[in-house]
Amino acid sequence: MKALTRHRKLSAIWKSEQGFKGWFSTVNHTDLGRLFLVTAFFFFLVGGLLAMLIRAQLATPHSAFAGPDIYNQLFTMHGTIMMFLFAIPTFEGLAIYLLPKILGTRDLAFPRLTAYGYWCYVFGGMMLLVSMVLGIAPDGGWFMYPPLTGPIYSPGINTDFWLIGITFVEISAIAAAVEITVSILKFRAPGMTLARLPIFAWYALVTSLMILTGFPPLIVGSVLLEVERAFGFPFFQAELGGDSLLWQHLFWLFGHPEVYIIFLPAAGVISMVLPVMCRTTLLGYGWVVASVVALAFLSFGLWVHHMFATGIPHMGLAFFSAASTLVAVPTSVQVFAWIGTMWKGRPELHLPMLHILGFFVTFIIGGLTGVMVAVVPFDWQAHDTAFVTAHLHYVLFGGFVFPILAGIYYWLPQVTGRQGYFHLGRLAFSLIFIGFHVTFLAMHWVGLLGQRRRISTYAPDDGWSVINLISSIGSFVLAIGIAVVILDAILHALSPRKARRNLWNAGTLEWAMMTPPPAYNFASLPEITSRNPLSANPRLATELARGHGYLGTPRKNQRETLMVDAASGRPEVLVVYPGNTRLPIMVSAVTGLFFLSVLIKVYWIAPIAVAGVAALALRWVWETGSKNDIDRQPVGQGINLPPASQAGRPPGWWGSLFLLIANATFFGSLLFGFVFLWTIAPGWPPPVWIDASVVELGSGLLAGIISVLAIHVAIRTKRAGGSAIAALVIALLATLGLAICCGTLMWRTPEPTDHAYAATLFVLGSYGLFHALLAALMVGHLIARVLRGYTSGERWGEFAIVGLWVDYIAIVVALVLLVGHLSGWVT
């Protein structure tokens, strides 16, 4: 088959619908990555506009530009948009677009999940923008500390927009993290071992795992605060056994890892682009990977350094201060690796390199001020001043925006297939670099002079007027620089000059394809023998276009790729992707209906929305699989592989595994909240404890054991080719028994509005009830699949997926029942 014929056939199989309608049905990672990035930069512009309004207000003393109420909304929405709607989605968009291309595959693991995550992001973000347009935007700061944001001091709907909108957006982040993690581990070119992974893939993998374990604590906090506001459960009210510090712990358990979740992808861009700009390879690849993993672990032990002024015991202050200083070590390893890479290479000052140098200067200053605020006595003086705001911006803008701009200029020719013409990039860099440092060096200065953060005005006698004016002027120069970047990118895309295929002479796989890239990425999948395959084989692009790799012959109008062994990259199964569908946007819209019903307090709609999500989810999974056993299929290079439907651990098993990691973190955060309130909060013991029941506890534990045994008997029976219906029915009844035990626990819990003990116990019971019903739904769906012929002795992967969920749910329900009943016995 000729290369042009192969291209036309693959394009027909993989293409999205043409025109505007295609946005709503596409599941192609290239389309969705672009949509993510464009949407994220739209929110970046909105957040930047809010920043200009903030600086306009602070430019002069006693400014009447914005009143205190509007100003509170401005700085709250600025922080919220930049952190939740720009930084994280930009990483998601870049990873979704880039990863299949650098991993040598045709798409991500779960294309429909990518689309679902994107539309959750759009709907959640628009919810927040609507609140701003209506003048009822969140106004309690992007960190939403109670009791200020509780029902007593913030009775309006402003705070609810933040709690519900951000939770909606974080569903998108969790979906993307599952997608990225499974894709890096299981969807790579054959032969790409972990030691041959492109360095950006390591950064993306670690970042995704951090999202899965870092975001659930904030989701827990948001749920608890919204339940307190809506139903009066006193989680954060000290007089009723709650504690507002619980929110700070949950928030910063997310918030400090969030800093590194933002920084690490940007550092990954540096590690990808810098060696190409220096005409060499990355120095210390293994050390860099180790430092990234170490940084991820350390980041979860630093959250209390945001709480040094809250009365933490001295031993705790010493520990977290030392840990906050220690985190500089793995960061320094990466910085020295980058410096060594420049030293051994021949740096060329192209636009990406200019932004990398801007990153070095800015991020090192931010890191040094970070070490300063890690020292407790200094932190006590600088806490809640403009110094901390300036430090945050040096870390986040210097550590994220400059590398992302370097990445934009590096990959723009790959995305557009065009070469820049007007050369506005150097002017833009100069404006951004000068404007940023003028703005935030001045903010450091005024913070040391005592200006508090989040103030809407100040007096002329404070001595801050000139510094604030300088800072505001710098911010407008910075804004002009960003505008020039956007103009330059648009002109680049419209340029008549076509870029050659590998403009930068890079060695990674994204340059071994046509530009702009086709919907299928690679006409055939490569066999990887080097960390820089294009450098090792300059003819690789031509060989792949001619079909010399894997899956070089299109067949049956199927979107095909390979799933490989996680460690060795050995091909395991043939994966066939679903086609274009509007199902993801439908599911996300019904999900949004649930959040909207909670927001506007029309609670009778919520169960309808949940039922709608369940029905659409069942349709989602029903469309997968096969009713017939399929012979091993030739995939090229003399290898025959079974389809994914006949794998013992299909892609859905891996997705479930990492989703359950996030779920377990959520549950662990709930348990942490329960223990924290019991041991730390004032107002304990509660006036009434639950009456422990041996029968109820024993029944729940027995039901959990039966459900686990039954589902594993079903798995063994199906693998042996027998009928598993009887074991599945027993598992179904056992999971319903778990639901009854959790419901009984909730029913017998004391009035949850009277004390935080009852409130947390009720929420734990609700968690157990929801998951027990979810397990029953999954087992019931599996029974239907068995009856319709979707499983056999060869096709038993769905049993493994359901078994994974039943095992987890049996464990967490047992823990819920133990916590509830043991608390009654202990007292």
For 781-793, write each residue's pLDDT tens digit. Answer: 999 999 999 999 9
> Which two three-digit tokens encode residue 768?
């157990």
How far is the CA of 264 from the CAs of 59, 88, 207, 553, in angstroms?
34, 11, 7, 38
Tell me which of 2-6, 475-479, 581-585 is least confident: 2-6
Mean pLDDT to the nearest integer, 634-659: 94
pLDDT digits (tens, 9 = 90+) for 694-730: 999 999 999 999 999 999 999 999 999 898 999 999 9
Which residues 6+ apart lie within 8 Å of 465 measured at CB? 60, 61, 458
Using CB atoms within 10 Å of the CB of residue 700, give its burial: 0 to 12 exposed, 13 to 18 middle, 19+ buried. buried
Q: What is the pTM of this model?
A: 0.96
How far is the CA of 357 from the CAs of 405, 550, 770, in angstroms?
12, 40, 51
> What is residue 783's predicted lDDT score, i.e. its pLDDT?
97
How far is the CA of 736 from the CAs of 47, 571, 761, in angstroms?
47, 40, 20
pLDDT digits (tens, 9 = 90+) for 755-779: 999 999 999 999 999 999 999 999 9
- Answer yes or no: is pLDDT of 443 > 80: yes
Q: Is residue 809 within 8 Å of residue 741, measured between CB atoms?
A: no
Confidence of residue 52 (pLDDT cuts 50, 70, 90): very high
Q: Side chain identity at 312, as an amino acid letter?
A: I
Where do the DSSP E strands lie in 306-382? none
Give SS3 for 39: helix
Q: Dihedral (C-alpha) 245, 251, 252, 255: value to the nearest 10 degrees?
A: -160
Between 383 and 128, whose confidence is greater? 128
Which residues 6+ apart lie within 8 Å of 221 measured at CB? 246, 247, 250, 251, 254, 669
Tell me which of 170-184, 322-336, 461-475, 649-663 is least confident: 322-336
Tell me how far the alpha carbon of residue 214 is from its chain's centroid.
9
Among residues of the chain, what percentage have pLDDT more than 70?
A: 100
> What is residue 222's predicted lDDT score, i.e. its pLDDT?
97
Mean pLDDT to the nearest integer, 430-441: 97
> What is residue 302's predicted lDDT score, i.e. its pLDDT?
81
Average confidence score pLDDT of the chain: 94
> What is residue 500's predicted lDDT score, i.e. its pLDDT?
85
C-alpha torsion sign, points 155, 156, 159, 163: positive
- Answer yes or no: is pLDDT of 420 > 80: no
Mean pLDDT to the nearest integer, 601-619: 95
pLDDT digits (tens, 9 = 90+) for 174-233: 999 999 999 999 999 999 999 999 999 999 999 999 999 999 999 999 999 999 999 999
Q: Rounded CA gap, 496 and 513, in Å?
A: 20
Highest averaged pLDDT of the listed ranges 133-142, 315-324, 413-422 = 133-142
Three-state SS letters, 717-754: HHHCCCCCHHHHHHHHHHHHHHHHHHHHHHHHCCCCCC
Q: Is residue 632 within 8 Å of residue 646, measured between CB atoms?
A: no
Confidence of residue 616 (pLDDT cuts 50, 70, 90): very high
> What is residue 367's predicted lDDT score, i.e. its pLDDT?
86
> What is residue 145's predicted lDDT score, i.e. its pLDDT?
93
Q: What is the DSSP letter of 342?
A: H
pLDDT digits (tens, 9 = 90+) for 270-322: 999 999 999 999 999 999 999 999 999 998 988 877 777 777 777 777 777 77
Confidence of residue 496 (pLDDT cuts 50, 70, 90): confident
> Which two three-digit tokens encode residue 155?
């009775």
Mean pLDDT to the nearest integer, 361-389: 89
Q: Rounded CA gap, 95 and 201, in Å?
A: 8
Residue of 583, 581, 586, 564 whose CA lies nearest to 573: 564
